[in-house]
Structure 1
């Protein structure tokens, strides 16, 4: 009873993924699927410094804020 439903579900899942890959992939261009531009190396470096720097600095800034509260 569950076998036909399983086959249909499996086929539907494969079709959805195949269509997604076909319609959204432009193929072979490095960095095309990233949510940021990698062509400007200085802007990319600034983004990485800000992104990782904010994560590493957050605990220290939170601790400082807590210690300075009255």
Structure 2
């Protein structure tokens, strides 16, 4: 009995959140970047995650070359 009420409440909450969204439920409509161009998206992801991954190595190299 409690599970039925909880399930119906969560379903109504989800649908009302989608209705309030304003973008019509378009996939990627609420993202701060465009996902239509796959090449551009790939370049942005590689640059974003690659810079974070490379930063410790660049810092270690800088410290080792410092006199």
TM-score normalised by length of structure 2: 0.66
Number of equivalent positions: 50
Q: What displacement does 1:61 show?
A: 0.3
RMSD: 1.7
Unpaired runs of at least 5, structure 1: 1-17
39, 45, 48: which one aligns with 2:45: 48
Q: What displacement does 1:25 show?
A: 2.7
Q: What displacement does 1:54 show?
A: 0.5
* Runs ≥4 residues deviating over 4 A: none
- Residue 53 (structure 2) pairs with residue 39 (structure 1): no
1:27 aligns to what SS in structure 2?
coil
Unpaired runs of at least 5, structure 2: 1-15
TM-score normalised by length of structure 1: 0.64
